[in-house]
Amino acid sequence: MNLIDFIIGGLLVNAMPHLVFGLTKTHFLGMFGYSPKGNILYAMLQFVLCVVLFCVKYGYKELLENGFLIGGITVLVLYFVFGKFLVLFYGRQKKDTI
């Protein structure tokens, strides 16, 4: 492992909390400020940088053969696609009162 691998992994992992905080409209400091849209944009930027750095370093074919990276990318893409729906769906659930 070298420094570029560490940066690729760090970008991928750091994109997740920014995406989740952006979708839940939680104020969380990112590169573009505290706004939810800024956090979502920051998550997208990190995701794109992660994939571009990996493809430059190892090539596109190697991306498809790296199970760890594919797993992380899959989870992040699923959050990009279904995250807003899940936040809205579970946000409508009634809270049980004791």
Q: Does residue 31 fall inside a structural domain?
A: yes
Would you state the pLDDT for residue 93? Answer: 64
Q: Does residue 28 fall inside a structural domain?
A: yes
Q: Tens digit of pLDDT per residue, the chain (98 long)?
A: 799 999 999 999 999 999 999 988 888 888 888 899 999 999 999 999 999 999 999 998 998 898 888 998 899 899 888 888 888 887 776 665 55
Instruction: Establish how many alpha carbons lie within 13 A of residue 73's alpha carbon, considering only the half-sphere containing its beta carbon.
Output: 16
Would you state the pLDDT for residue 39? Answer: 93
**Domain range enclosing 70:** 3-91
Query: In this structure, is the dihedral angle defined by the CA atoms of residues 56, 61, 65 and 70, taken in order, positive or negative?
Result: positive
**Number of domains, the chain:** 1
**Nearest Cα to 79, choosing from 8, 26, 7, 17?**
17
Would you state the pLDDT for residue 95? Answer: 61
